[in-house]
Amino acid sequence: MKKTGILMPVSALPSTTGVGELGRASYQWIDIMKENGVKIWQILPLNPVGYGNSPYQPYSSCAGDEIYISLDLLFEAGLLDKKPDKFRENAKRVDYTAVRAFKESYLREAFEKFKAKDGQNDPAYKDFISQEWVYTYGVFRALKLENNGDCWNDWKPEYKNWSGDKSALSKNVEKEAEYQCFLQYIFYTQWMDVKKYANEAGIEVMGDVPFYVGLDSVDVWSGKDNFLLDTDGRPIFIAGVPPDYFSATGQRWGNPIYDWDYLKKNKYKFWVDRIGYSNKLFDIIRIDHFRAFDTFWKIPASCPTAIDGEWIEAPGYEVIDTLNKELPGVNLVAEDLGELRPEVLELKDHYHLKGMRILLFSIDTKGKYARDISNDIENVIFYTGTHDNDTLMQWYDGLTVAAKRKVREFLKKQGIKAGNIKDRLLTYVLKSKAEYAIIPLADIIGLGKEGHINTPGTVGSPNWEWHMVDFKKAKEELGRYKNLIMNR
């Protein structure tokens, strides 16, 4: 069955607090998708963002970012005395630092009310925090606060190598850890309510799991043996990709490399736990940088760029076999973009995983005529673009006059003649054989540079900051494509 999806980060949802939340707007968005026949909501990672506000450098693989907690829902639950003030309600960019500062007092008030109501003895709460990762994450965040936000490998030895002994923690650290556990419980509760609403509306949620984890994360701090680190907790090798379309010096991500020998001895428990928890949160799991299950680019940590490195084979078949055995029915899709060796596609096809096809990279305008250089096949997800690309209109507007003409003529030869160029390009994607057609909301609306989410190889503002003021344009434009979406 063919399905249409929309890529829309939670952070970009309209709100009264300057960042998307798991409150009223999430439900409104689901209603809009349902009304127009959309069957998949693809999001970006929801984990607590760290360096550069990138969701691909989070503090945890399991935890959710408290920035998405709906303050209005806390008020309705009786955990706030008064309805929260509005803050940056009409902001077109997310100011993460300002929003966190604004929300902090409300979240701490909610925690005190929760304790006063004896919420910590609620069976649902006790069940949630009984998960091993929750308290460990709480301690990690508390110790980060205690250490002025420094990376864990710069902490004092007793904190850097904490063994799990609560008696080694100060009262302040323990209280802060409890607060962080509370935030995770609220996030989880609000998110699962949103997911349930989406599922009841016939919509699947596609989550996003980065292949690597951030160095400054609870994953590495509490699981050092899973990574190639020196005795000081610093990476010996780091992840990235060699020079490519995006960068002449490659991309030096800085994530630590896995110790695959150790992971194998432990039956890939790290991956089973990580994907297993994501399997609770999402219906479909997109593995970012899937190619690293086949071969990964291993860069000496001393190298300032990603030019010097080597391709190393990874035990992808063993890992995915283990995931399928331990997590029956897990629904994975593979981000398989870029220059790949054939073995990557063989690995993906062995498990019948859907890969990705990007319109912006598919239409070649170099020759006399524009042509589609990718294969129009069924078991694939066809995107106009992703969070890492120019928006559709930004791409088209950047073409030469001759290239634009070739694109229009190409679409005409496909029998697509009606509407403006955006309409015709979206029609081409929606009429493809691909089982899933997923379009970023910015492309549905027709945004240019202002809708660009991230530029690979760059850090910080304006990446990850795109934010919608309201749904008016989204409703109008989605409504125009409703018949195409419904009749895929």
Q: Residue 265, class by beta-carbon neighbours within 10 Å (0-12 exposed, 13-18 middle, 19+ buried)? A: exposed
Q: At 76, which helix (H) or strand (E)? A: helix 71-76
Catalytic residue among 288, 294, 336, 443: 288
Contacts 24+ apart (CB under 8 A), 332-336: 332/275, 332/284, 332/285, 332/286, 332/287, 333/206, 333/284, 333/285, 333/286, 333/287, 333/381, 334/286, 334/287, 334/290, 335/286, 335/287, 335/288, 335/289, 335/290, 336/290, 336/291
Catalytic residue among 66, 216, 335, 477: 335
Active site residue 390: no
Q: Are the CB atoms for 36 and 479 separated by under 8 Å? A: yes
Q: Which residues contact 462 (CB under 8 A, 6 or more apart)?
A: 93, 452
Q: Which residue has the tokens 């069940």?
A: 127
Catalytic residue among 273, 388, 443, 465: 388
Secondary structure (3-state) at 43: coil
483: left (phi over 0), alpha (psi -120 to 50) or beta: alpha
Secondary structure (3-state) at 405: helix
**Can the peptide bond before residue 58 be classed as cis, meaning omega within 30 degrees of 0?**
no
Number of H helices, E strands in the chain: 19, 14
Total number of residues shown for the chain: 488
Active site residue 388: yes
- Which tokens is 227 given? 């990574």
* Packing angle of the helix pair 171-200, 96-116 (nearest 10 deg): 100
Q: Are the CB atoms for 275 and 327 separated by under 8 Å? A: yes
Alpha-carbon distances, residue 476 vs 320, 384, 396, 419, 473 (angstroms): 42, 19, 22, 15, 5
Secondary structure (3-state) at 164: coil
Active site residue 288: yes
Q: Annotated active-site positions, please?
A: 288, 335, 388
